[in-house]
Chains A and B, each alone.
Chain A
Amino acid sequence: MESGFVFSQTDKNPMYQQIMEQIKQRIAVGDWPPNTPLPSVREMAIEIKVSVITVKRAYLELGREGVIVTQQGKGSWVNDTLDLKMLQRDELIQHLVQAGKLAKFLAIPEEKMLQMLKQYME
């Protein structure tokens, strides 16, 4: 399976996170439905021209998050019990944590933050 990943040199995230992101996107848009087998770590590394150890780390972290399942000798595939909404919710929470930190640093009061949030949800 050709993955067709495109990476960005201006992306500040480490390469393993960019790989994770690209895999999640393919799952999110339905190109890689549940149970789709992923290329082996080495196949993926050769295809995207990124070191084996980096791809290995991306797969490991995706396994930890429950996005993919990896079994020794059998390879990896997209988790069939994967709740995509949960996955995206986790991502939203990450953004909120960052926003909360920044608001605290900028001394923006809670009411003001809620107001701003409301504005962007309309």
Chain B
Amino acid sequence: MDLPPAIQCEGITKRYPHFQLRNVDLSFEQGAVMGLVGPNGAGKSTILRMVMGLLGPDAGSVKVLGYSMPEEQIAAKRDIGFIAEDMRLYESETIAFHMDFIKSIFDTWDDGYADTLLRRFDLNKKQKVKGLSHGQRVKATLLLALARRPNLLVFDEPTTGLDPAVRREVLDEMMNALEDETRSILFSSHNTLDVEQISDYITFIYGGRVIESRNKEDFIDGWRRLRLTNMDEKPLPNLPNIKEVQRSGRLCTVTVNDYEESFPRLFPAAGLVVNAIEPLTLEEIFLVAVKSAKANASMELAQ
């Protein structure tokens, strides 16, 4: 069985007056989850809109489940469920109205699954949209996207603004959707915990560029924090993978990327003692990576 990749973006570029998406490559196989992380305005939503065919790139190519976007978007959209923050529902209509509406468009709609989701989400389908809380609205849009069983789910910030209990429900249902071995998810989030928990691949975006894109285990495993004692105030070895240095008297903390087992040995050779080597959470990596990307960007400007 040779399935086309869930997503395959090559060299996509898009110019706006105040923002540019530059040479973005993204790709992952079906059956997997990719999380996009990056600060506000990094370009995550622009990428998701291109994947959906809502925007065409100035250069490069976008393929989704083997379909070229935006040219084949009509065929592709049968297989894609999209949820964005600014998704509009009809305020004066009920959840049931929306369910019937989607069902009339997509013959893949699964009544049984829709009922299960109503129960799990604690939603009353007779309720009108205007009376729903933010959490209920998100769950209703998720239900509408899931119950037609698309092959690919594309979610822009699905957990933003949700309380911990609803956030959990949404994440649980995203994971449950993977029961189908070829179903894939591409989502963006500011919540690094969510991305760390459910993603198989992590793509880090900054300033319209992909800083890093790889499988989550390698991504997280590539980073370490080393706690050092510098008794004789020796200079640190000058290494390109040191992304952050914090000094306090004789104590020094270094955060590194592209970590290898042999790395700590470089410090005793330079007269420093390694006291501890710690893994980082995605949140900690995010903060260091943004800082370091910012520094690189301002260096480029200065040149």
| Cβ contacts A39-58/B at 8 Å (1 or 0 each) | 00010011001111110010
Q: Is the CB of B200 within 8 A of A42?
A: no
Question: Are A45 and B216 touching (Cβ within 8 A)?
Answer: no
A14 to B119, CA, bound (A): 34
Say whether A49 contacts B32, CB under 8 Å. Answer: no
Q: Are B199's CB and A51's CB within 8 A? A: yes
B272 to chain A, nearest CB (A): 13
Q: Which of A1-32 contact B (CB under 8 A)?
A: 12-16
By the criterion of a CB under 8 Å from any partner CB, how many residues of chain A are at the interface? 16
- Kindly state the separation between the CA atoms of A53 and B195 in the bound complex, as whole angstroms: 13
Which of B78-86, B174-182, B262-270 makes up part of the contact surface?
B174-182
With CB as the reference atom, state the residue of chain A lying closest to B175: A49
Q: Is A105 an interface residue (CB 8 A)?
A: yes
Cα–Cα, bound, A105→B274 (Å)? 10
Once the chains bind, are B176 and A51 in contact (CB under 8 Å)?
no
Contact residue range for chain B? 20 to 34
Q: Is the CB of B171 within 8 A of A57?
A: no
The reply to whether B33 and A51 contact each other, CB–CB distance below 8 Å, is: yes
Known contacts A51-B199, A53-B215; A42 and B171 CB within 8 A of each other:
no
**In the bound complex, how far is the Cα of B275 from the Cα of A105, in angstroms?**
8
A45-B178 contact given A51-B200, A52-B32, A105-B275, CB 8 Å threshold: yes
Min distance, Cβ A56 to any Cβ of chain B, angstroms: 8
Whether the Cβ atoms of B216 and A54 lie closer than 8 Å is: yes
B198 and A49 contact, CB distance less than 8 A: yes
User: Is there contact, CB below 8 Å, between A46 and B217?
Assistant: no
Whether A45 lies near B217 (C-beta < 8 A) is no
A52 / chain B contacts, CB cutoff of 8 Å: 31-33, 178, 200
Q: Is the CB of B217 within 8 A of A53?
A: yes
* A45 pairs with B175, CB closer than 8 A: yes
Contacts of A14 in B (CB 8 A): 220-221, 279
Contact between B217 and A54, CB atoms less than 8 A apart: yes
Which B residues lie within 8 Å of A16 (CB)?
217
- Residues of B contacting A45 with CB < 8 Å? 175, 178
Binary contact track A51-79/B, C-beta < 8 Å → 1, others 0: 11110010000000000000000000000
Docked CA distance A45–B171 (Å): 12
Q: Which residues of A contact B273 (CB under 8 A)?
A: 105
Complex: chain A residue closest to B193, CB-CB: A9
Q: Which residues of B contact A12 (CB under 8 A)?
A: 278-279
Whether B100 sits at the interface, judged by CB under 8 Å, is no
Residue of A nearest to B280 (CB): A14
Nearest-neighbour CB distance to chain A for B115, whole angstroms, equals 20
B181 and A49 contacting across the interface, CB-CB below 8 Å: no
B residues adjacent to A (C-beta < 8 A): 31-33, 171-172, 175-176, 178-179, 181, 196-201, 215-217, 220-221, 273, 275, 278-279
| A contacts, CB < 8 Å to B | 12-16, 42, 45-46, 49-54, 57, 105
User: Given A14-B221, A46-B178, A51-B198, list of 10 further CB < 8 A pairs?
Assistant: A45-B175, A46-B175, A46-B179, A49-B171, A51-B197, A51-B199, A51-B216, A52-B31, A53-B217, A57-B217
Q: Could you list 10 A-B pairs, sorted by A, with CB under 8 Å? A: A13-B279, A45-B175, A49-B197, A49-B198, A51-B33, A51-B198, A52-B31, A53-B201, A105-B273, A105-B275
